[in-house]
Each structure stands twice: as C-alpha cells, then as structure tokens.
Amino acid sequence: MTPLPLSVFKTAQQNLTGRIRRTPQMDIVLDSGQTVTAKLENLQISGSFKIRGALNTVLSLQPEALAKGLVTASGGNHGLGVATAGSMTGASTTIYLPRNTPASKIAKLEKIATKVIVVGDVWDDANNLALEDARKTGKTYVHPFADESVIAGQGTLGLEILHDNPEIDVLLVAIGGGGLISGIASAAKLIKPNIKVIGVEAVGAPTLKNSLDAGKLVALDKIETKANTLAPRQSAQINFDIISEYVDQIALVTDEDMQASAEWLWQNCGLGLELSAAATIAALRAGVFSPRENEKVCAIICGSGPDGY
C-alpha cells in the first residue's frame, strides 16, 4: 500500500485544532519503579480518542452527505465520537451498538445521538446492520477504523506526543479494529523512524495478532473478553497492511490484568478508565512487554470509564 504522507496528518491536526482538547501527558511510576509517560485521552471530549478520527472524517464530508445523516456501528467510543461530531456539525446520527456495550455508554449515547439501536452479540453484527441501514436510507456511513480520514485523525495523537515529548522511544497502543495504532504508527514513524510501536490486544480477542501470525486477515471464531472496544472479530485490509509495516510487536493481556491495572490507576492516579484504556499499563505491569533499560515509554490511555472503581 502507499503510505499516508505526513501532510495528511498535519491537515487532520489543523482540522481538529480548537475543536478538541490537546490532552496532557503525565508520568506514572509503576510498582516496579519504572516510570512511564501516559497520554491521557480519557480526558478527551466524548471520553476517548475516537472523536479525533470521527470529527476529522465528518468535517471532510460535503454538505449533501451531512444532510443525509450519519450512521455507524460501535462498541461505544466511536459512536460517542460520531454523535459528538454530528452535534457539532448539525448532522443527525444513528448509532448501532452490540449487546456487550456497557450500559453507561448506551445511556450517554442516548442523550446525544439521534437514534441508538442495540443489536447483535459483537461489533461485527451491529456493523452489518449499520451498513444495511446506509444502503437502504442513503445515510453516510462512518467506519470506526478502516478509513483513511479516520486513521489520519487518530494519527494526530502521534504528532502531539512527539511534539510535546520528542524523547519518547516506545509507544504502547491498545488495538481494537486497528484504527488508532494505524494512525499513531504511521504518523510517529514519519517523524521518528526508529521509534518502536507496540500494540496491545486482549487474550480473548487477538484479532490482529492472529492475522499477523497468519500473514493475512483472519476472523476470530469467538470473542472472549469483557473489553468490548478491543473485540471485533475481524480488522480490515488497510489496517492490516499498515500494522504489518509499522508495528513492531503485539502483546496480549488478560482481562484480569486489565481489571487489576484499571483499579491500580484509579487508586494511585485518580484515573477513571474502561478496561481497554488500562491495557497498555497492564502490558507493563504484567510483564508481557518489557522495554529496554533507559527506553522512554509512552502509554496511550485511550478512554474513560468506571471499570476501575
């Protein structure tokens, strides 16, 4: 595939400036004594990084596409991003959610989206119905990860991190469908080619790890994780190609380690997170990824939630 140029990410950053938050970075000292820098996207508007890709995509749409309304499927965070982007641009929004979406996110979405439909066991099921809705009604479908404008929006995180902290050697990024890590890895390696990008997936949903091991996209037979935003059965070719090229390693974490890390981050740092947002710290605390001595690590804390309370 042709790599996305740096100009695409800088344009996305210009689009988003003044519309979203430039979230802070803070140093966290783990029980091991290791210091890790955390990029706090749990403080982002809509509650997660997803607003970056959703809003960048929606701002690129023609007026007639906006007028038809927006439709998507989500585990919660992307839906909140699209609903927020719709509110900011005056577009109606229809959000399909699988039944494993946390009740708190459903309630939040029902306050800002035009229509919320809960259907299917996992994201892939809800997504099929969102695509059918778009075909039947003409609504504009906004993909949560397999779209260049979404990837460009997520990649603005890489620009911010390295601008604010150019000494970072390693980026730890949670993987669901792969949009976040596709954007961050692409942008970061354009700026600092030797930086390492480490993906983190749930043991019960190793979508990209299995695909990389197989050398092609594969679909999981089943999902066995409570971290629903890390749990599509299958990614997409664009994400697979980028991750194959730019991601150095994928580590797997258990639900128990994510839960323990979410609780630790609440108790020690006052961060209220969902399981997926604790995945990067869980990878360090559980030792499934160990940086070299003196490597400076940045862990993306991707979304807020009550799982650590």
What pLDDT digit, counting tens, does each position of 233-270 carry?
Answer: 999 999 999 999 999 999 999 999 999 999 999 999 99
Question: Which amino acid is located at 224 in the chain?
Answer: E
Domain boundary among 82, 110, 141: 141
Beta bridge partners of 26: 38
Residues 261 and 285: their CA atoms lie apart, in Å, by 8
Structural domain for 271, as ranges: 6-48+147-301
184 and 278 housed in the same domain: yes
Question: Tell me: the pLDDT tens digits for 257-307?
Answer: 999 999 999 999 999 999 999 999 999 999 999 999 999 999 999 999 999
Beta bridge partners of 253: 202
18 and 33 housed in the same domain: yes
Residues 194 and 278: their CA atoms lie apart, in Å, by 25
196 and 265 housed in the same domain: yes
pTM: 0.96
User: Looking at residues 103-121, what average pLDDT do you find?
Assistant: 96
Q: Is the pLDDT of residue 169 over 80?
A: yes
What's the CATH number where 119 sits? 3.40.50.1100
Residue 1 lies in a domain: no
31 and 172 housed in the same domain: yes
204 and 291 housed in the same domain: yes
pLDDT value at position 309?
87
Answer for the pair 39, 157: CB distance below 8 angstroms, yes or no: yes
Look at the block and give the residue holding tokens 């109606």: 92
204 and 169 housed in the same domain: yes
38 and 62 housed in the same domain: no
Q: What token pair was written down for 97?
A: 């959610």
99 and 236 housed in the same domain: no
Domain boundary among 85, 108, 141: 141
216 and 97 housed in the same domain: no
Domain boundary among 77, 110, 141: 141
pLDDT value at position 2?
79
The β-bridge relationship of strands 25-29 and 35-40 is antiparallel
pLDDT value at position 83?
98
Question: Tell me: the pLDDT tens digits for 21-60?
Answer: 999 999 999 999 999 999 999 999 999 999 999 999 999 9
63 and 120 housed in the same domain: yes
Q: Is the pLDDT of residue 1 over 80?
A: no
CA proximity to 172, closest of 271, 289, 256 = 289
Answer for the pair 231, 224: CB distance below 8 angstroms, yes or no: no
Q: How many domains does the chain have?
A: 2
Residue 28 lies in a domain: yes
Residue 132 lies in a domain: yes
CA distance to 35, 39, 102, per residue, from 75 (Å): 31, 22, 8
User: Looking at residues 117-121, what average pLDDT do you find?
Assistant: 97
Question: Tell me: the pLDDT tens digits for 173-221?
Answer: 999 999 999 999 999 999 999 999 999 999 999 999 999 999 999 999 9
167 and 38 housed in the same domain: yes
pLDDT value at position 288?
98
94 and 76 housed in the same domain: yes
Residue 20 lies in a domain: yes
